[in-house]
Amino acid sequence: QVRLAESGGGSVQAGGSLRLSCAASRATYRMAWFRQAPGKGREGVADIYGGNDVPRYADSVKGRFTISRNSARKDLYLQMNSLKPEDTAMYYCAATNMGPRDHSISEVDFNYWGQGTQVTVSS
């Protein structure tokens, strides 16, 4: 029912910036960015929810990444600054109409997913 399409991935040098976008077919209450690096599990990077668009971040990206969405709550963004090689991963957009259960950004909370966009950071 909700289709998500990511864009903006690519290759960048360490210290550079990249801006990811996610276009949703309809508005949802909560959206998030996840990432999965080779040999690692899927990690919740950041989420945003509610009418006030409250943002939350994983410790690994806090101070470097900024999550936001437009007033229609359909377009999601992730501004990625000061990129590091360890940020290299497939990045996924996710959405749900349910609020957070706790303080975590857990993949099991989300029922709508995009196909992902690759981010590669070289040193």
**pLDDT digits 0-9 by tens, 40-86:** 999 999 999 988 999 999 999 999 999 999 999 999 999 999 999 99
Pairing between strand 10-13 and 117-122? parallel
Contact 33, 57 (CB under 8 A): no
pLDDT mean over 84-95: 98
Classified as helix, coil or strand, 85 is: helix
CA distance 12 to 7: 15
Confidence of residue 31 (pLDDT cuts 50, 70, 90): very high
Q: Give the whole-number percent of the chain exceeding pLDDT 90.
A: 96
Q: Give the whole-number percent of the chain exceeding pLDDT 70.
A: 100
Classify residue 21 as exposed, middle or buried by CB count within 10 Å of its CB (0-12, 13-18, 19+): middle
Confidence of residue 122 (pLDDT cuts 50, 70, 90): very high
List the structure tokens of 74: 């359909």
Q: Taken in order 77, 119, 63, 114, is the CA torsion positive or negative?
A: positive
Confidence of residue 104 (pLDDT cuts 50, 70, 90): very high
Classified as helix, coil or strand, 108 is: helix
**pLDDT recorded at residue 82:** 98
